[in-house]
Amino acid sequence: MESHPSFPVLSPFIARYPRASSSLFQAYNDIVYAQQWNDVEVVDVPSCLRGAIKGKKRGTQETLYVVPCSLSETVSFAWLQDAFKELFQKESVEPDASGTTTIPSIYLAITSQDASIVYYKLSQGIVKPAV
């Protein structure tokens, strides 16, 4: 792992949160190298004992957050609420210039030992899906 090109970026989080390190490593590399997101950085989410990934999908300007976890972990509603609080503490939910309000959401990147990743988009409250 130390010889991988992403290790210098991830090493502070791998050292700080060793139990979540493999999920972070797998999700980060998928986002950077396979999906080729832009402006990718790792942000600290200490209440969830892990780093999260912040970036923009290729061809978009919307900043998205990905919180990696393992398939074998137990994720509670309190844990998810903590993630939302930490990731969106500085962002307000105000209408933009067109009058559209963006509901904060995170992507939960669930990783498994066979290198599969499933992404679930989670929003706070009840949110009507786009039609």
The CATH number of the domain where 31 resides is what?
3.40.1350.10
Q: Are 28 and 66 in contact (CB under 8 A)?
A: no
- 72-127: per-residue pLDDT in tens? 999 999 999 999 999 998 555 555 566 666 778 999 999 999 989 999 999 887 77
Map residue 62 onto helix, strand or coil. Answer: coil
CA geometry: angle at 104 spanning 46 and 102, to 5°? 155
- Tell whether 41 is covered by a domain: yes
Q: How far apart are CA 107 and CA 120, in angstroms?
A: 5
- Tell whether 23 is covered by a domain: yes
Q: How far apart are CA 46 and CA 62, in angstroms?
A: 24
- How many distinct structural domains can be found in the chain? 1
**Ramachandran area for residue 39 (φ above 0: left; ψ -120 to 50: alpha; else beta):** left
The residue ranking higher by pLDDT, 62 or 99, is 62
Q: Can you tell me the mean pLDDT for 17-39?
A: 96
Mean pLDDT in the chain? 89
- Tell whether 18 is covered by a domain: yes
Range of the domain at 85: 7-92+100-123
- Tell whether 128 is covered by a domain: no
Give the global pTM. 0.86
